[in-house]
Amino acid sequence: MTPLTAKDFSPPAILLSGPVDYDMYKAFRVQLGAAPRTGLVVVELSTLGGDPEVARMMGEDVRFHSDLEPERRFVFLGKAAIYSAGTTFMSFFARPNRYLTRGARLMVHERRLTKTLRIDGPLTTCVAGVEAALAEIHGSIEIQNEGFENLVRGSNVTLEEVIRRAPSNWYIEAHEAKTLGLVEEVL
Protein backbone atom coordinates (compact mmCIF):
# COMPACT_ATOMS: atom_id res chain seq x y z
CA MET A 1 0.00 0.00 0.00
CA THR A 2 1.19 3.47 -0.82
CA PRO A 3 2.15 5.49 2.29
CA LEU A 4 -0.02 8.59 2.72
CA THR A 5 0.85 12.20 3.49
CA ALA A 6 -0.99 14.73 5.65
CA LYS A 7 -2.88 16.18 2.65
CA ASP A 8 -4.46 12.77 2.01
CA PHE A 9 -6.33 13.04 5.32
CA SER A 10 -8.28 16.21 4.58
CA PRO A 11 -11.17 16.12 5.02
CA PRO A 12 -11.86 12.89 6.89
CA ALA A 13 -14.93 10.99 5.70
CA ILE A 14 -15.68 9.78 9.23
CA LEU A 15 -14.94 12.06 12.18
CA LEU A 16 -15.43 10.64 15.69
CA SER A 17 -14.62 12.04 19.13
CA GLY A 18 -15.73 11.39 22.68
CA PRO A 19 -16.64 8.19 24.46
CA VAL A 20 -16.85 4.98 22.45
CA ASP A 21 -20.50 4.20 23.05
CA TYR A 22 -23.72 3.50 21.15
CA ASP A 23 -24.09 7.18 20.23
CA MET A 24 -20.65 7.08 18.62
CA TYR A 25 -21.63 3.87 16.83
CA LYS A 26 -24.75 5.54 15.41
CA ALA A 27 -22.67 8.52 14.21
CA PHE A 28 -20.11 6.13 12.74
CA ARG A 29 -22.77 4.20 10.80
CA VAL A 30 -24.32 7.39 9.38
CA GLN A 31 -20.92 8.70 8.26
CA LEU A 32 -19.91 5.29 6.91
CA GLY A 33 -23.04 5.26 4.77
CA ALA A 34 -22.16 8.69 3.37
CA ALA A 35 -18.44 7.92 2.82
CA PRO A 36 -16.97 7.72 -0.69
CA ARG A 37 -17.71 4.45 -2.50
CA THR A 38 -14.17 4.27 -3.90
CA GLY A 39 -10.75 5.47 -2.86
CA LEU A 40 -9.60 6.64 0.52
CA VAL A 41 -11.98 6.58 3.49
CA VAL A 42 -10.32 8.33 6.41
CA VAL A 43 -11.66 7.56 9.88
CA GLU A 44 -10.41 10.13 12.40
CA LEU A 45 -10.77 9.37 16.11
CA SER A 46 -9.97 10.96 19.44
CA THR A 47 -11.28 9.23 22.57
CA LEU A 48 -10.53 8.58 26.21
CA GLY A 49 -12.08 5.13 25.76
CA GLY A 50 -15.39 3.49 26.37
CA ASP A 51 -17.21 0.28 25.56
CA PRO A 52 -14.86 -2.29 24.00
CA GLU A 53 -17.76 -4.18 22.42
CA VAL A 54 -18.88 -1.04 20.58
CA ALA A 55 -15.27 -0.59 19.40
CA ARG A 56 -15.35 -4.18 18.14
CA MET A 57 -18.65 -3.56 16.29
CA MET A 58 -17.21 -0.52 14.52
CA GLY A 59 -14.02 -2.46 13.81
CA GLU A 60 -15.93 -5.38 12.35
CA ASP A 61 -17.78 -2.92 10.09
CA VAL A 62 -14.41 -1.64 8.84
CA ARG A 63 -13.11 -5.16 8.33
CA PHE A 64 -16.32 -6.26 6.58
CA HIS A 65 -16.42 -3.27 4.21
CA SER A 66 -12.68 -3.59 3.50
CA ASP A 67 -13.22 -7.20 2.42
CA LEU A 68 -16.48 -6.51 0.58
CA GLU A 69 -15.32 -3.34 -1.19
CA PRO A 70 -11.62 -3.61 -2.13
CA GLU A 71 -11.97 -0.41 -4.17
CA ARG A 72 -12.12 1.45 -0.83
CA ARG A 73 -9.11 1.92 1.44
CA PHE A 74 -10.10 2.46 5.07
CA VAL A 75 -7.46 4.43 6.95
CA PHE A 76 -7.32 5.26 10.65
CA LEU A 77 -6.08 8.64 11.92
CA GLY A 78 -5.71 8.85 15.68
CA LYS A 79 -5.64 12.34 17.12
CA ALA A 80 -4.54 13.40 20.62
CA ALA A 81 -5.83 10.49 22.74
CA ILE A 82 -6.66 7.01 21.49
CA TYR A 83 -7.24 5.21 24.73
CA SER A 84 -8.57 1.80 25.52
CA ALA A 85 -11.56 1.10 23.25
CA GLY A 86 -10.09 3.54 20.72
CA THR A 87 -6.99 1.37 20.45
CA THR A 88 -9.24 -1.67 20.11
CA PHE A 89 -10.99 0.03 17.19
CA MET A 90 -7.65 0.96 15.59
CA SER A 91 -6.54 -2.68 15.78
CA PHE A 92 -9.13 -3.61 13.14
CA PHE A 93 -7.36 -1.51 10.51
CA ALA A 94 -4.52 -3.13 8.57
CA ARG A 95 -1.24 -1.95 10.07
CA PRO A 96 -0.26 0.02 6.92
CA ASN A 97 -3.55 1.93 7.29
CA ARG A 98 -2.90 3.21 10.81
CA TYR A 99 -1.69 6.78 11.29
CA LEU A 100 -1.35 9.09 14.30
CA THR A 101 -0.93 12.83 14.65
CA ARG A 102 2.15 14.21 16.42
CA GLY A 103 1.74 14.11 20.15
CA ALA A 104 -1.02 11.52 20.05
CA ARG A 105 -1.00 8.77 22.67
CA LEU A 106 -2.33 5.24 22.53
CA MET A 107 -3.33 3.51 25.74
CA VAL A 108 -3.65 -0.25 26.03
CA HIS A 109 -5.06 -1.94 29.09
CA GLU A 110 -6.80 -5.10 30.13
CA ARG A 111 -10.57 -5.23 30.09
CA ARG A 112 -12.14 -4.43 33.41
CA LEU A 113 -14.86 -6.35 35.22
CA THR A 114 -16.92 -5.16 38.14
CA LYS A 115 -19.19 -7.86 39.40
CA THR A 116 -20.57 -8.97 42.72
CA LEU A 117 -20.98 -12.70 42.96
CA ARG A 118 -23.53 -13.72 45.54
CA ILE A 119 -23.45 -17.34 46.55
CA ASP A 120 -26.69 -18.37 48.19
CA GLY A 121 -28.76 -21.49 47.73
CA PRO A 122 -28.40 -25.19 47.09
CA LEU A 123 -24.80 -26.18 46.53
CA THR A 124 -25.26 -27.34 42.94
CA THR A 125 -26.78 -23.98 41.99
CA CYS A 126 -23.92 -22.24 43.78
CA VAL A 127 -21.43 -24.14 41.63
CA ALA A 128 -23.33 -23.22 38.46
CA GLY A 129 -23.22 -19.51 39.34
CA VAL A 130 -19.50 -19.60 40.08
CA GLU A 131 -18.79 -21.53 36.87
CA ALA A 132 -20.85 -19.04 34.83
CA ALA A 133 -18.86 -16.12 36.27
CA LEU A 134 -15.60 -17.92 35.57
CA ALA A 135 -16.72 -18.67 31.99
CA GLU A 136 -17.50 -14.96 31.52
CA ILE A 137 -14.01 -14.03 32.70
CA HIS A 138 -12.30 -16.61 30.48
CA GLY A 139 -14.39 -15.57 27.47
CA SER A 140 -13.56 -11.91 28.04
CA ILE A 141 -9.84 -12.70 28.27
CA GLU A 142 -10.03 -14.55 24.94
CA ILE A 143 -11.77 -11.58 23.28
CA GLN A 144 -9.25 -9.18 24.84
CA ASN A 145 -6.29 -11.21 23.60
CA GLU A 146 -7.77 -11.43 20.07
CA GLY A 147 -7.75 -7.63 20.08
CA PHE A 148 -4.16 -7.58 21.33
CA GLU A 149 -3.20 -9.99 18.52
CA ASN A 150 -4.85 -7.68 15.96
CA LEU A 151 -2.96 -4.71 17.40
CA VAL A 152 0.50 -6.30 17.24
CA ARG A 153 0.14 -8.18 13.93
CA GLY A 154 2.90 -6.95 11.60
CA SER A 155 4.66 -4.97 14.34
CA ASN A 156 7.78 -5.42 16.46
CA VAL A 157 5.67 -6.03 19.58
CA THR A 158 4.88 -9.52 20.80
CA LEU A 159 1.56 -10.59 22.21
CA GLU A 160 3.38 -11.57 25.40
CA GLU A 161 4.69 -8.01 25.81
CA VAL A 162 1.21 -6.51 25.48
CA ILE A 163 -0.21 -9.02 27.95
CA ARG A 164 2.62 -8.17 30.37
CA ARG A 165 2.19 -4.38 30.05
CA ALA A 166 -1.59 -4.07 29.74
CA PRO A 167 -2.50 -4.58 33.44
CA SER A 168 -0.74 -1.31 34.35
CA ASN A 169 -2.12 0.81 31.46
CA TRP A 170 0.50 0.98 28.70
CA TYR A 171 0.73 4.50 27.26
CA ILE A 172 2.47 4.70 23.89
CA GLU A 173 3.48 8.04 22.38
CA ALA A 174 2.94 8.42 18.61
CA HIS A 175 6.62 8.23 17.59
CA GLU A 176 7.15 5.22 19.86
CA ALA A 177 4.12 3.55 18.24
CA LYS A 178 5.76 4.08 14.84
CA THR A 179 9.11 2.74 16.07
CA LEU A 180 7.33 -0.33 17.46
CA GLY A 181 5.59 -0.82 14.10
CA LEU A 182 2.10 -0.41 15.54
CA VAL A 183 1.30 2.40 13.08
CA GLU A 184 2.50 3.30 9.59
CA GLU A 185 3.35 6.93 10.17
CA VAL A 186 3.05 9.99 12.40
CA LEU A 187 1.73 13.12 10.65
Encode the chain (187 residues) as per-residue pLDDT tens digits: 788 999 999 999 999 999 999 999 999 999 999 999 999 999 999 999 999 999 999 999 999 999 999 999 999 999 999 999 999 999 999 999 999 999 999 999 998 888 898 999 998 889 998 999 999 999 999 999 999 999 999 999 999 999 999 999 999 999 999 999 999 999 9
| pLDDT value, residue 37 | 94
| pLDDT value, residue 152 | 96
**Do 82 and 46 contact (CB within 8 A), yes or no?**
yes
| pLDDT value, residue 3 | 86
Look at the domain 6-186 and name its fold.
Answer: 2-enoyl-CoA Hydratase; Chain A, domain 1 (3.90.226)
| pLDDT value, residue 124 | 86
- Contact residues for 47 (Cβ-Cβ < 8 A; gap 6+): 16, 17, 18, 19, 20, 24, 81, 82, 83, 84, 85, 86
| pLDDT value, residue 150 | 94
The torsion angles phi and psi of 101, rounded to 5 degrees, stand at -85, 160
**Do 49 and 88 contact (CB within 8 A), yes or no?**
no
| pLDDT value, residue 178 | 98
| pLDDT value, residue 133 | 92
| pLDDT value, residue 113 | 85
